[in-house]
Amino acid sequence: MKFLFLAGAVAMVLFVFSGCGQISEKAVVSKVDDSVQIVALKEICRQEVTDFVRSNLIMCMGLYNGEIFYLQEFEDTFRLFFFHPEKDWTHTVNFPKGKGPGELQQAMGVRIMDEIIMIPDFFMKRLNIFSLDGSFMDSFQMDGKSGPDSILNFAFEGDTLYYCGMTETLVGRYNVSSAMVEKRVFKGTNHVPSDGDLFSGVSLVKEKEGLLYAGHISAPFRITVFNDKLQTMKKFRVENREQYTPVKWAIGPGYTSNAGDHVISSLALHKGVLAAPECSLRIRKKGNRFSLENFQGRLYVIDADDGKLALVLTHPLFDRISILSMVGIDDDYLVFYINRQPENGVEGVSSLVVCNVPPEVKELFR
């Protein structure tokens, strides 16, 4: 059993699209115009986020069985905090810090599926598997020869890890049980990034026994759809009213980062409906300093079958935000994370917000 190596910060994946197998359809292009219905979200509750993990926060939150969770980090432990949007109770699951079995040095993401919690550890170069009560079940180490290159975003189904690599792999399929990469689509470049290179990326969601959706971080807004053989099946694109700044590497003495507008840094899928921010994150560089800037946020709802933009979702909190991340969607709840930097004497915001799924979205479910 080999190890899964995951690395990254808020912007998680390097992705350069460069021909991905057999393309069965041309890109489906939608425009944001007056013909697209705008729907206001109705909020149920919000939960202030405190003591969040120090890196990769977007991949350390989720929606599972009607509960919302996010990962906290303390001096000697990681804690998974759960809350129910309509019940007055919470519960937590603790994971000790350390190097032993069931211990974590760093958490690069959290996925929960089939009553199993999966947490990749970058420093220990392993994937840890826990039960829902936090009991340690297993871990998988990576073999440098047969394992994937540095993973920056991932999705699971059964024993299969679908991932995006930092240096070589556009999209890969890794069998956890056999510890082998079964299939890879190469992005056509494997050099170490230089200052000013395009920083492109992808967020992954997997349809159960179905297609794999990859949302690109760098503008324009686009999603590439793969089958289980990692052949490109579809491409979706949305032409925004606003022009966004492509994300580029910013590398210099003492720093390695990026700057630009991160478009799809998170992506949710439920019953044939995709939901993603129009823009997720705005980073600006001045000299050798980096800062988040506030922007106007919106959520796009896309029909996963035909690839067309179906709805635009709004919320009062979307006016002047620094981070907008899609956390999850199910039959009842649509959940997003929002961060707003303090501005002009107004306090900042860092909250998970739970809304009712609008009837217009439910009509799209299949």
CATH number for the domain including 226?
2.120.10
> pLDDT tens for residues 48-59?
999 988 878 888
Q: Residue 7: what pLDDT?
A: 34
C-alpha span between 168 and 171 (Å, rounded) = 9
pLDDT (0 to 100) of residue 144: 56
- Per the domain annotation, does 334 fall within a domain? no
In order of 12, 62, 258, 343, 365, the CA distances from 292 in angstroms are 16, 23, 11, 11, 35
Q: Is the pLDDT of residue 2 over 50?
A: no
Least confident interval from 94-103, 172-181, 261-270, 276-285: 172-181
- Residue 45 in tokens: 């509750």
16, part of any domain: no
Q: Ranked by mean pLDDT, which of 82-86, 140-144, 291-295 comes out on top?
A: 82-86
Task: Say if 261 falls within a structural domain.
Answer: yes
Are the C-beta atoms of 61 and 352 separated by less than 8 Å? yes
Residue type, 135: S
- % of the chain surpassing 90 pLDDT: 57
Whole-number Å distance between alpha carbons of 255 and 258: 10
Residue 284: partners with Cβ closer than 8 Å, 6 or more residues away:
259, 290, 291, 292, 293
Joined together, the tokens standing for residue 279 give: 């823009």
- Domain assignment present for residue 346? The answer is no
Look up the pTM and report it: 0.88
Averaged over 228-240, what is the pLDDT?
A: 94
Q: What pLDDT does residue 165 have?
A: 76
* pLDDT grade for 98, boundaries at 50, 70 and 90: very high
140 in any annotated domain: yes
- Give the pLDDT of residue 278: 96
- Segment 285-291 shows an average pLDDT of 89
Q: What is the mean pLDDT of residues 190-199?
A: 80
Average pLDDT for 178-205: 81
- Position 119 in a domain: yes
State the Cα torsion 24-26-29-35 to the nearest 10°: -70
What number is the average pLDDT over the span 294-320?
95
pLDDT digits (tens, 9 = 90+) for 68-90: 999 999 999 999 999 999 998 89
Asked whether residue 324 is domain-assigned, the answer is no
The closest alpha carbon to 151, from 43, 273, 14, 247, belongs to 14
pLDDT of res. 141: 76
pLDDT band at 365 (very low <50, low <70, confident <90, very high): very high
Task: Answer whether 31's CB lies under 8 Å from 169's CB.
Answer: no
Res 25: pLDDT: 55
Higher pLDDT, 6 or 165: 165
Band (28; pLDDT cuts 50, 70, 90): very high
| Average of per-residue pLDDT across 234-257 | 90
Average pLDDT, the chain: 86
- Tokens of residue 304, six digits: 């996963």
Q: In this structure, are residues 266 and 70 in contact, taking their beta carbons and an 8 Å threshold?
A: no
- Which pLDDT tens digit goes with each residue over 108-141? 889 998 899 999 887 887 889 999 999 999 988 7
Residue 166 lies in a domain: yes
Evaluate if residue 143 carries a pLDDT over 70: no
Query: For the chain, how many structural domains are there in total?
Result: 1
Domain that holds residue 205: 47-283
